[in-house]
Amino acid sequence: MLAGGTTGYVVIEGWSAWDAFYMTVTTVATVGFREVHELSRAGQVFTVLLIVSGVGTAFYTATLLATTIVEGGLQRRFERRRTTSMLQQLRDHFILCGHGRIGSMIADELDRQRVPFVIIERDPARVRAVIDRGWIGMEADASQEDVLTRAGINRARGLIAAVGTDAENVYTVLTARVMRPDLFIIARVESDDAEHKLRRAGADRVISPYHIGAAHMVQTALRPAVVDFVQLATSSGHLELSMEQVRVPSPSTVVGKSLVESGIRQKFGVIIVAIKRSDGAMEFNPPSEAVIRGGDELVVLGGAESVKALEEMIAA
């Protein structure tokens, strides 16, 4: 409006740019102190049009702003900015694709264990429920590269594909694997014939909720005490006992030492249940002379504070 009005007075009345701009501002603002110069009939007609257009634009802008606020558009913009800011700060997090029955349970467990994560879901109602709980949610397709980039896949600890169908999970896993060859990926599978497809797409672990549920029920029926112990050791609700895996970095004070030389059992009072070697081999109930190497993962059982102290010592 300012540019058009200024140009109009310069062309119609032949005024200087400043006089034309000053006249336009006072006219559009409906202040109207005075006319800078006498107006011709054409100038008067242009002024009337400028007043009507200026007032109409002001009313339209006010209506649009009010509509945006009433319909929640402004709130959604703030939420998007908040989500973007939180995503940029995430480090060593999990990307959870899907927030259905399985995905919501996974999110609850991650939240209980205070593990950072972001949820990607296409259903707006589910995304709204995620945001209402204070979690980070994105309404998008998890199989798109730009979506995974916004979710911080380059900084992520792992990805969990728990979308509704096997086909969507395959595309999501394939996209993530291409973007991050070293990313740890877990995929949910519905049908048996889709398991090998997910593994070929790049999933490190393929989980069938039905198979796990059936196996757990059988184990509970046959060995209830064993199941109770494992649940006690792995559940975040029992802080007095914790079973964790502790990764040994290459530059560490325990690298090259045996278990007895490292003093882990004596100092922290934890039990070394197993050692997962860097080549994938698993040593259960390792002997005292077993040597710790860089890249190994120690599966330890003990008090939560003792395990945390062990992690800090090994990482130092």
CA distance 233 to 241: 6
- Is there a single domain that holds both residue 122 and residue 201? yes
Q: Can you give the pLDDT at residue 219?
A: 87
Strand duo 184-188 + 158-161: pairing: parallel
Is 26 inside any structural domain? yes
- pLDDT bracket for residue 190 (50, 70, 90): confident
Judged against a pLDDT cut of 60, whether residue 237 lies above it is answered with no
Is 95 inside any structural domain? yes
- pLDDT bracket for residue 103 (50, 70, 90): very high
Q: Can you give the pLDDT at residue 175?
A: 95
Of 32, 48, 70, the residue that ends a domain is 70
- Map tokens 């102190």 to a residue: 33
Is 219 inside any structural domain? no
Is 218 inside any structural domain? no
- Is there a single domain that holds both residue 191 and residue 109? yes
- 86: tokens are 């939180």
Q: Can you give the pLDDT at residue 228?
A: 80
Q: Can you give the pLDDT at residue 215?
A: 87
CATH code: domain of residue 50:
1.10.287.70
- Please give the full DSSP string across 112-136, using - where no structure is assigned: HTT--EEEEES-HHHHHHHHHTT-E
- Are the C-beta atoms of residues 283 and 223 closer than 8 Å to each other? no
Is 189 inside any structural domain? yes
Note the pLDDT tens digit of each residue in 8-55: 989 998 889 998 898 888 888 877 777 888 888 888 888 889 888 888
Range of the domain at 98: 76-213
Q: Can you give the pLDDT at residue 234?
A: 66
Task: Please give the mean pLDDT across all residues of the chain.
Answer: 87
Q: Which of 94-108, 117-131, 134-148, 224-238 has the lowest mean pLDDT?
A: 224-238
Of 184, 213, 242, the residue that ends a domain is 213
Q: Can you give the pLDDT at residue 155?
A: 93
- Is there a single domain that holds both residue 178 and residue 275? no
Q: What is the mean pLDDT of residues 249-267?
A: 87
- Is there a single domain that holds both residue 102 and residue 25? no
Higher pLDDT, 236 or 84: 84
- Is there a single domain that holds both residue 82 and residue 169? yes
- Is there a single domain that holds both residue 187 and residue 100? yes
Strands (E), the chain: 94-97, 117-121, 136-139, 158-161, 184-188, 205-207, 242-247, 271-276, 282-284, 297-302
- Is there a single domain that holds both residue 90 and residue 204? yes
Domain count, the chain: 3
- Is there a single domain that holds both residue 229 and residue 287? yes
- 182: tokens are 């070293």
- pLDDT bracket for residue 67 (50, 70, 90): confident
Q: Can you give the pLDDT at residue 307?
A: 85
- Is there a single domain that holds both residue 165 and residue 113? yes
- Is there a single domain that holds both residue 13 and residue 137? no
Note the pLDDT tens digit of each residue in 124-173: 999 989 988 989 999 999 999 999 999 999 999 999 999 988 999 999 99
- Are the C-beta atoms of residues 211 and 221 closer than 8 Å to each other? no
Per cent of the chain over pLDDT 70 is: 93
Judged against a pLDDT cut of 90, whether residue 313 lies above it is answered with no
Q: Can you give the pLDDT at residue 202?
A: 93
Segment holding 271, helix H or strand E: strand 271-276
CATH code: domain of residue 247:
3.30.70.1450
Judged against a pLDDT cut of 70, whether residue 75 lies above it is answered with no
- Are the C-beta atoms of residues 295 and 250 closer than 8 Å to each other? yes
Q: Can you give the pLDDT at residue 69?
A: 67
CA distance 9 to 24: 8
- Is there a single domain that holds both residue 199 and residue 246? no
CATH code: domain of residue 174:
3.40.50.720
- Is there a single domain that holds both residue 102 and residue 142? yes
- pLDDT bracket for residue 97 (50, 70, 90): very high
Of 70, 102, 122, the residue that ends a domain is 70
Burial category of 20 from C-beta neighbours within 10 Å (exposed 0-12, middle 13-18, buried 19 and up): buried
Q: What is the mean pLDDT of residues 265-278?
A: 88
